[in-house]
Chain A
């Protein structure tokens, strides 16, 4: 797994090699190599994405054949055929080539696409009863992710990362807090809007374990392009283990010395008021306004898929969140001593 690939953004903390990334992306875009990766609908890792890829390739093949026929006809008419056609012959070409052929081909393509729709957007049993439910709330500019049990109670809450089991259909309940967002994991399936005041249901099934990247696919404000999340498709047992883990109940693996029974970073975190917006399970921090930071250290990225999760990037985000993510709701903490910010960053990075 490569954190850099999940963030998709160049930042000062990166190595100089990455400055050539835009050029590399441009060049790879010319070849099929760009069709693979953590965020590609053409490298499917889910049953819905497979249906999308199948439809795409069928359309590309069909379009390619028609292109060859048209170009072939142009070459034939302009280069090979010396004498003009009879008027009735030309009328026949226009009728069959211009009317009958497109009507039949479009009818077949339409029927095929409609026939594939249940595979792209399953609605078995209407509301998806009995499926595992994950509630995703889109907010400017991050994702609140809650794992629900069969009664609808929250089992575990995280932010900007989705864990899902492989080979099991999952029902995502999509909500939005402020404006319309759109939830899309291209590798696993199609996208669906998250609309304020509504709960949209999207079923997805991952078929291949791995790490993927999801994005907001509906413009939602200044940092729309920096509203991503990581997706971990885990084997069922690994997923159950992850879900059952209660990170707050075990002592935090902090690299900072412990003072007065608490890590210094946690002390500072609480003293500077971080806990009024952020929750860390097992600590007095229980804010619900911003992303839940429980087990933050295990997340691959900082600021919703914007930067790789390193203590340096985290410290920078704490100090200048708006410089990294324009329009972010979190205020900057540049007035804090640098040592305090580093201590908080190290503490958060140590939360597993």
Chain B
């Protein structure tokens, strides 16, 4: 079966996909709220509009991380082989990278949720 996303990706960059989404989400949340709190009513939007916008952005980020995690799971062979994948073979290198990417995706997923918790609870800018 031909896959849309190539199965053989010989690059380390996929490892950082989920943490990169986490970092972007963090920056966007903080910058957007900092701008709103410094300039209330900017673009004629209220606090809750920004809040909802960031909630949607959070869901998109979580979806992207889940997708990256799925690709990592696939690279890991869906858990067909147990860690530690420490043999000096191309196969083990791929499995190791897949497993590491999967763990990082899990960490990033939790981190994005933690970043978003204040969005749900705080309803005002602090002066």
Contacts and interface: CB of A to CB of B under 8 A. Distances in A.
B122 A114 contact: yes
Interface in B94-125: 106, 110, 113-114, 117-118, 121-122, 124-125
Given A126-B127, A128-B127, A117 B117 contact: no
Nearest to B110: A103
A107 B118 contact: no
Interface string A112-135: 001101100101001110000000
Nearest to A106: B114
A114 B117 contact: yes
A107 B117 contact: yes
B91 interface: no
Nearest to A171: B127
A246 B117 CA distance: 51
B117 A110 contact: yes
Nearest to A110: B117
Interface residues of A, number: 16
Nearest to B123: A118
Interface of A: 99, 103, 106-107, 110-111, 114-115, 117-118, 121, 123, 126-128, 201
Nearest to A124: B124
Contacts of A121: 126
Given A103-B110, A106-B114, A107-B113, A114 B121 contact: yes
Contacts of A127: 127
Q: Give chain B's interface secondary structure class.
A: helix
A121 B118 CA distance: 15
A201 B127 contact: yes
Interface residues of B, number: 12
B126 A114 contact: no
Nearest to B118: A114
A123 B121 contact: no
A123 B126 contact: yes
B38 to A, nearest CB: 13
B114 A110 contact: yes
B114 A123 contact: no
Q: Which of A110, A128, A201 has the most CB of B within 10 A?
A: A110
A122 to B, nearest CB: 9
Contacts of B113: 107
B124 A107 contact: no
A126 B117 CA distance: 22
A111 B117 contact: yes
Nearest to B40: A126
A103 B106 CA distance: 11
A79 to B, nearest CB: 30
A40 to B, nearest CB: 25
A121 B126 CA distance: 8
Nearest to B119: A114
Contact of B124 (A110, A123, A128, A201): A123
Contacts of A123: 124-127
